[in-house]
Amino acid sequence: MRVALWRPAHFVREARLSAAWRSVRRGMQWAAALLAIAAAGPAAAMMARSCDDARVFSQSPVNVLLLPYTYTGTQEQMARPLSEAAGRLGLLMEHDSLIEMTKFETIGVVNLVRTPGSRPCESDRIWDALAGPQRDSSAGLRRGAAAVMMWGRIYEEGTTLYVQTYLRFGRAEVSERVERTVTTSSGSATFAAQLPSQVVTLPPRRITRDDIAAINREFMRLAVVRDGPSEYARIVDRLPDLGTPEASMRPFGYAVTEVRGDWVKVLPLEGGQPGWIRARADASTWPLRDRLPELYFLDAVVAYAHLRVAQEASGFPKPASASRLINYARQSLGRYRESTKEASPAADALGHALLGTMLMLAASDRPRLEEAQVEFDQSVRLVPYNAEARNLANVAGVQRCCSGPARSNAAAGAMMSSLLDAVSVDPANANALGNLAAFHRLLDGWPDGVAAIGAAEVERQRTALKQLPTLR
């Protein structure tokens, strides 16, 4: 399934896109098809592919990779509706993204499925092929582009069913490192940190047999194209049943030309019939995001990735403004937390770190930097053993306390203690050690700061730092 999704402002391109795609024969290679999409200038694009033939939209700054949810059980259990529901869940998530991801304006969404005879959709293998240093140049990310991958499993413990989601994100050949330089009248020093994690296990959600039935029911309702935006409109086409392993996945592509509530109007790009697709599960009977609030966490990570690519990479379409991306992340994380109540400290800490980093990267005034500090402090509270969480708090903290004419002598001692805490958590952490050394460089022209900390203590630390080979 290939989907090209445009903002209303791009509807005028419909004829151009349709003509471009009519020239694409059904058997045309995917690489050439994606080039046709890129030339036409879509805001976003969607496709479904076999895990053995994974590919991203190379023109998109961010690609969301939705791997299939799997059911793990005995051979007898695998024959039950649980396995079918696991396979179909990805399509519900993909369709939900048709509505939710439009706010990001430039994005690619790839739904990867296991087709007959293909290997399992192993997350590490897919990531290496599309985003790793040895990725296939014709199928993977361009340098600096980002991928956000989500996958999961449905499993049983006794008589109770659970669905658990995993998430991974990163940029091709670029680390999630943050650097900020603090300048004083006597010189400058650079402080650095990284996110606490780029792979997170989200807390399992208890589901019921009714939920399984709802997944299968909603799939059957959403996997059709109708001739009008109504459940009662005539069905003109059907999408492949991704929950049935023996079913072949025929290519199906469409461009979205109108959004009306939960419905999207589509034009076929490769076979099929034009019509309307319902893009969201029925919120009155089975609200997908209430059952899987992890989709809100996904939205926040996508907003973060857009901001990083926009600020640090060239040659990609520009996304929404930094302020809008920050608001998207804040709202999505708020909704996620309403449903989890800190059930996973590591995930919640990452959420605070993501939002804090966005605020710090976009900071043009002190209030926004103070907002970032609040987020980082929350992250440290949740994962006090994580040195990078502390490093992020220190990068924001040193900008607030120790730069320019507003620097505080009284805060110098507290800042030094915070930097030492990060080193004590992980004495081998290069960022923590580097930040401590950078702070000492600031002290070279700050005699009042040295006095506040204690000259003897400052000298003792400098002697110890000189013994570290990584800082010589």
Tally of CB atoms within 10 A around 241: 17
205 residue type, one letter: R
pLDDT at site 284: 63
**What confidence tens digit (pLDDT) does each residue in 256-265 have?**
667 787 787 7
Give 379-408 as a 3 state SS string: HHHHCCCCHHHHHHHHHHHHHHHHCHHHCC
**What confidence tens digit (pLDDT) does each residue in 205-221 have?**
888 777 777 777 777 77
Cα(235)–Cα(129) distance, integer angstroms = 38
Cβ 44 vs Cβ 60: under 8 Å: yes
**What confidence tens digit (pLDDT) does each residue in 389-407 have?**
999 999 999 988 887 666 7
> What is the chain's mean pLDDT, rounded?
78
**What confidence tens digit (pLDDT) does each residue in 6-40 have?**
332 332 233 333 333 333 333 343 343 344 344 43
Cβ 29 vs Cβ 270: under 8 Å: no
What is the token pair recorded at 301? Answer: 């990570």
pLDDT at site 38: 41
Instruction: For the chain, give the percent of residues with pLDDT over 70.
Output: 75
pLDDT at site 147: 96
Helix axes 322-340, 345-361, angle to 10 degrees: 170
Residue 233 has pLDDT above 70, yes or no: yes
Cα(205)–Cα(211) distance, integer angstroms = 11
Lowest mean pLDDT among 49-53, 94-98, 296-300, 369-373: 94-98
What is the token pair recorded at 86? Answer: 């696991």
Cα(35)–Cα(57) distance, integer angstroms = 9
Of 3.40.190.80, 1.25.40.10, 2.40.30.10, 3.40.109.10, the CATH number of 294-471 is 1.25.40.10
**What confidence tens digit (pLDDT) does each residue in 99-125 have?**
566 677 677 878 787 777 778 889 999
Residue 203 has pLDDT above 80, yes or no: yes
Element (H, E) at 462: helix 455-466
Average pLDDT over residues 160-176: 91
**What confidence tens digit (pLDDT) does each residue in 43-71 have?**
456 677 778 888 888 888 999 998 888 87
Domain chopping of the chain, boundaries = 2-286, 294-471
Q: What pTM, to 2 d.p., does this model score?
A: 0.83
Cβ 297 vs Cβ 202: under 8 Å: yes
